[in-house]
Amino acid sequence: MKIKFTFCQNWQAFLAFIILNGFLLTKVVAQTMTTISKPGSSQDFDHNGTNWVHVANSTYTYDSHGNQLTKLSLDPNTNENISKNEMTYHVSGEPSSNLSYQWQNNSWVVTHGWKDTLIFDTNNRVVIRIKKDIQNGIWEVRKTEYNYDVNGNKVEEIGSTLVNGNWNLSNRRSYSWANGLITEVQHDVPGGANWQKMEKYVYASWHLANVNPASYIRYIYDRATNQWSPGSRNTISLTGNGGSIYTVELNQNNAWVNYYRINEYYDSKGNYTGYLKEIYAGGWEPEAENQVLITYNSLFEITSMTYRWPQIVGGQMTGPVVDQYKYVYSNFQYFQRALGTNENQKATPAFNVFPNPAQNIINITSSEKSPATTATLSDLTGKTWLTQKFNANEPKQLNIEALPKGIYLLQLKTAKGTSVQKIIKQ
């Protein structure tokens, strides 16, 4: 099977997102239940330049929240093992391990992956993360220690690598805060007995506070002059369906000039459909592109995903789009999942809707004191099929027996806010 090309190969483009990822998303103030569907099996194909080649049949297992636990791939002709993937999760829902195996000499051999361990303080904050990565049978162990200020803001990360039984310092990140927002993140590396400055990110604005930046400048430290010099200015513009345009400018003669940009695309269902990276050479020219073609069934479940990319040489599309690999999904399963609201976002009312999928009656309950609620059920075109008002503490039920089969959006509105959930009418 082919090595899968992913957007992560452009890791530098999202370095500033990576340094903010981790524990800024773990505090939840409200939860809303929603129904999700996941495939139980797939047929996996590679493209040989002319035809699709059926290379594997895969089956999937999940936990009660719909988090994938395993993927097992078998040879479609012999039904023999080919590969498998195993995942585990922390209580928060964050992945705690992801290991890939190959079937070799009648046994499973780990080829790559990672697993980590979290240690918490008495305030339930992560203070140590120990992460183990494996490549070609060799484990690398890294440790990150986290320090917080009196307000609970993360102010420092100290990284170490385990070498011959000893922890060797590898990096440090220092966070500066003002009015509840991260204003600067500085990266240092070991230098003798002291830390040496390397680079820093200065944040000007945010789309989502402390999670998704809108604009920031990357500075590089010049040890010869002991001065910070601007390296790049980075701007993230949000586009339709959750997409974005990430633009990088370089500082030349005290002026910002375009360098490259990455357009990331999502469809109307919010699923990732690819990206386009462009280099500026007097105008924007394509350098790399990845496309994901998605098909859906009548319930808007993903039935296939095809990965492909065009041939680009010298900033020009030189040939047709080339198919690479494809997954065809079936045997869908349904799960109830709690959607958390980040501490920096406005809390919305927490509801549980069941059964879902449903044929006749759906029940609506709240984990809080049941508020007065207006329920509105609409289809995906925006047409309203049902509207019903419920008094505080009144049992809440909707009769959907007369509705056509399909997917609906249930809006539950209270004085506290609005919650929207997907409902499947069978």
| Residue from 166, 167, 148 nearest 157 by CA | 148
For β-strands 312-313 and 302-309, DSSP reports them as unpaired
- d(C-alpha 289, C-alpha 278), whole Å: 9
pTM score, two decimals?
0.72
| C-beta separation of 41 from 334 below 8 A | no
- Based on the domain organization, do 317 and 412 belong to the same domain? no
Q: Identify the pLDDT of residue 93.
A: 82
Question: What total number of domains does the chain contain?
Answer: 2
Query: Tens digits of per-residue pLDDT, 159-218?
Result: 999 999 899 999 999 999 998 999 999 999 999 889 999 999 999 999 888 889 999 999
Q: Identify the pLDDT of residue 122.
A: 83
CATH number of the domain at 400, please.
2.60.40.3080
Sign of CA dihedral 199, 200, 206, 211: positive
Domain limit, last residue, from 277, 312, 336: 336
- d(C-alpha 296, C-alpha 407), whole Å: 12
Q: How many CB atoms lie within 10 A of CB 155?
A: 14
- Domain carrying residue 364: 348-425
Query: Tens digits of per-residue pLDDT, 91-143?
Result: 778 899 999 999 999 999 999 999 999 888 888 899 999 999 998 788 999 99
Tokens encoding 43: 């047929």
Domain limit, last residue, from 287, 308, 336: 336
- d(C-alpha 426, C-alpha 413), whole Å: 25
CA distances from 23 to 340, 343, 350, 401 (A): 14, 11, 22, 43
388 assigned to some structural domain: yes
Burial of 425 (0-12, 13-18, 19+ CB in 10 A): buried
* Averaged confidence pLDDT in the chain: 85
Ordered strands of the 361-366 beta sheet = 351-354, 361-366, 396-399
Domain limit, last residue, from 336, 364, 385: 336
- Based on the domain organization, do 110 and 212 belong to the same domain? yes
